[in-house]
Amino acid sequence: MALKKKPVTGMKDMLPKEMEIRDHVIQLIKETYKTYGFSSMETPCVEHIENLCSKQGGDNEKLIFKILKRGEKLKIEQAKEENDLVDGGLRYDLTVPLARYYANHANELPSPFKAMQIGNVWRADRPQKGRFRQFMQCDIDILGEQSNLAEIELILATTAMLGKLDLKNFTVCINDRNILKAMAAFSGFKEEDYDEVFIILDKMDKIGSEGVSAELEGLGYAKENVDTYLKLFDEISPDVEGIAYLREKLGSCLPKETADGMELIISSVEAAKEAEFRIKFDPTLVRGQSYYTGTIFEVTMDDFGGSVAGGGRYDKMIGKFTGQDTPACGFSIGFERIVMLLLEHGYEAPGNRARKAYLLEKKLTGEGMLKVLSLARADREAGFQVMIANMKKNKKFQKEQLESEGYTEIIECYSDSIGSL
């Protein structure tokens, strides 16, 4: 078989320039989240196929890279369908593996457990610009914390981190599945229709109130219900006032603890935030994943069409592994989008070392090389990034290249003058 030079379809080789930014962002994320008491943890990239296909991943389950059984377990002749051939798959997110990890290790972990994960996930999505089949996710999750302290800390930590990357003009949008449900109930929709209604509501920012109205009526929902529903959205201000309005308007449809929680989260985040951003109550925020049970939130950025981070509360997932519900809430950053934004903005990772290069004349002796090595050693100990390279015939081009890589000091080393260095 001929060797292939390109990476596999939809996946990406990372060049040094991009890696510099990626390494810097990862380090910044780890440092920032640590100050918030999150502990680094990791699961294997390969997960049991049963766990990946457990209906918690929604559409992502259609996109799994599956791993062939090995040895005697693989019986090709007898295989009828895909799942006869495979026993594992590459994880499509970090949340399902986290639930398994927590179920496996709860006794060894503090409670609540504040987890930080940075790792690749894989989805066999149709390749398109800026979307890759292997991409990095950075998640923080708080497991075992029922109170909204979890949401507050997750939002403060995530926004502090974004602020340290000099990202400005971003907004945290927040909503609660229970508010979505209360508004639908108040408007007269039936519980079995909620999911369909929310899928259409989710398009509000694209098709507007009239579009949503038309689609809902098109599906046969009563005009009266649709009108009541959409009128509610018109009258909600995007802050704690909005919550107060709904509290009064929806009455017993809206659980008191939901309204209290939203007010507490919004006011606490407003008061304690480290970075510059807006927090906005957004009753049209839906978020797709079916596993969310309470608050949901998202970071949108003016520079970027779409969200750069998202999360919410999923109090029922861990119980599927353990048989016992454990409150859980998480926030995931769109690492690739953020790196893309930084690259587009010409972001320079700060704190890069001063760079020095030694170019060695070809006939430099062993003695001469030792001299250079000992100079380089001292430079490195002093914190320099030092390149030692043999001088090329086209020295001018070589120096230009080194300069373009940030080597500001370039020292030519010749055998007859090495003593004077």
- Please state the residue numbers annotated as binding site for L-histidine: 93-95, 123, 137, 141, 287, 291-292
Given candidates 75, 105, 168, 395, which one binds its own copies under the rule CB under 8 A? 105
Axis-axis angle for helices 177-186, 256-272 (nearest 10): 130
Q: How far is the CB of 241 from its own copies (least distance, A)?
A: 17
150-209: which residues touch its own copies (CB under 8 A)? 152-153, 156, 160
Told to check if 48 binds its own copies by CB under 8 A, we report yes
Q: Is residue 248 within a helix (H) or strand (E), and if so which, with residue range?
A: helix 240-250
367-386: which residues touch its own copies (CB under 8 A)? 369-370, 373-374, 376-377, 380-381, 383-386
Cβ–Cβ < 8 Å for 298, 285:
yes
Annotated binding residues, as ranges?
93-95, 123, 137, 141, 287, 291-292
Cβ–Cβ < 8 Å for 313, 328:
yes
Told to check if 240 binds its own copies by CB under 8 A, we report no
Pairing of strands 304-313, 328-333: antiparallel
**What 3-state DSSP class applies to 296?**
strand
65-84: which residues touch its own copies (CB under 8 A)? 65-68, 70, 74, 76, 79-82
With CB under 8 A, what is the number of residues at the site for its own copies? Answer: 109
Given candidates 221, 321, 335, 347, which one binds its own copies under the rule CB under 8 A? 321
Of 98 and 197, CB closest to its own copies: 98
Pairing of strands 170-176, 278-281: parallel
Of 207 and 370, CB closest to its own copies: 370
CA distances from 335 to 25, 55, 161, 341 (A): 9, 25, 12, 10
Structure tokens at 279: 């927090």
Q: Is residue 413 within a helix (H) or strand (E), and if so which, with residue range?
A: strand 409-413
Rounded distance, CA 287 to CA 198, Å? 9
Q: How far is the CB of 35 from its own copies (least distance, A)?
A: 4
Told to check if 14 binds its own copies by CB under 8 A, we report yes
Rounded distance, CA 34 to CA 15, Å? 28
What is Dmax (Cα atoms) for the chain?
94
115-134: which residues touch its own copies (CB under 8 A)? 120, 122, 124, 133-134
Of 140 and 232, CB closest to its own copies: 140
Given candidates 143, 173, 296, 360, which one binds its own copies under the rule CB under 8 A? 360
279-318: which residues touch its own copies (CB under 8 A)? none
